[in-house]
């Protein structure tokens, strides 16, 4: 049984949004995780709270905040449109932004725990041998923290696939533009007699998330085996 036009559209857009979500979030997530894991400074608790705020706020609040900030009349959105002709709200790029904001705390948390598990003595030994800060990070910290980084990437990808509240508030449910799998499923639940189509989307979403988790576990095992070997 092939995919319907609606399923192909929603699946393709969801994968596109999720992949871009991970791509744009990962560098910042690694940087913030390293700062929280390795640095002590005034305001660290505030930064940690800001990073994890999307986890405790209702997603609709996050989406509305993004709309106020990045909408055509928002301070940042207006500047982006007038300067670069770039519109974020009610586009697939806005769906990426909404997913990235909601997934960012999960990515940071997983990566931070992995960096904290890296033996600080190894980093200190590398410094005594003449390695600079960047050299220590790329030769010691990053390779040893890679399983946690991979976990963060998978969590961000999976969170993006399931993102609904912030996305529908910020970019609406526009066919072919912002209608990802969760939004397409929501639309079907509003149409009488669409239970079978909705069930198909549930199965597709479940299989996609399941495949991502299995791929992550197999890759993490391979990485650990190489490191132990």
Question: Per-residue DSSP letters for 56-119?
Answer: HS-HHHHHHHHHHHHSTTSHHHHHHHHHH----TTSHHHHHHHHHHHHHHHHHHHHHHHHHHS-
Report the candidate in 122, 66, 119 with the shortest Cα–Cα distance to residue 97: 66
Of 94-98, 131-135, 166-170, where does mean pLDDT reach its minimum?
A: 131-135
**CA-CA distance, 99 to 70, in Å (whole number)?**
14
pLDDT tens profile 172-228: 999 989 999 999 999 999 999 899 999 999 999 999 888 888 887 787 777 777 766
Q: Which whole number is the average pLDDT over 147-167?
A: 91
SS3 assignment, position 51 = helix
Looking at residue 229, its pLDDT comes to 63
Q: Work out the mean pLDDT of the chain and round it to a whole number.
A: 90
First to last CA, the chain: 44
Which domain, by its residues, includes 26? 5-228
- Count how many domains the chain has: 1
Whole-model pTM? 0.90
Of 80-89, 130-139, 198-207, where does mean pLDDT reach its minimum?
A: 130-139
- CATH number, position 51: 1.10.3720.10
Asked if pLDDT for residue 104 goes beyond 90, the answer is yes
Looking at residue 1, its pLDDT comes to 59
Q: Are 37 and 115 in contact (CB under 8 A)?
A: yes
């Amino acid at each position: 049984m092939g995919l319907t036009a609606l399923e192909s559209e929603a699946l393709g857009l969801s994968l596109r949004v999720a992949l871009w979500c991970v791509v744009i979030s990962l560098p910042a997530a690694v940087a913030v995780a390293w700062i929280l894991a390795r640095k002590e400074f005034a305001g660290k608790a505030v930064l940690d709270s800001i990073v994890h705020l999307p986890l405790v706020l209702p997603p609709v609040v996050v989406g509305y905040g993004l709309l106020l900030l990045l909408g055509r009349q928002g301070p940042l959105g207006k500047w982006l449109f007038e300067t670069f002709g770039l519109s974020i709200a009610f586009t697939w790029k806005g769906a990426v932004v909404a997913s990235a904001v909601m997934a960012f705390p999960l990515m940071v948390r997983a990566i931070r725990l992995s960096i904290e598990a890296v033996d600080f003595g190894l980093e200190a030994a590398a410094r005594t041998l003449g390695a600079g800060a960047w050299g220590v990070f790329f030769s010691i910290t990053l390779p040893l923290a890679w399983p946690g980084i991979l976990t963060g990437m998978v969590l961000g990808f999976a969170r993006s696939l399931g993102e609904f509240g912030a996305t529908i508030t910020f970019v609406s449910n526009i066919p072919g533009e912002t209608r990802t799998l969760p939004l397409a499923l929501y639309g079907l639940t509003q149409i009488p007699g669409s239970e079978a189509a909705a069930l198909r989307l549930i199965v597709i979403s479940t299989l996609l998330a399941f495949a991502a988790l299995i791929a992550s576990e197999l890759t993490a095992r391979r990485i650990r085996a190489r490191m132990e070997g």
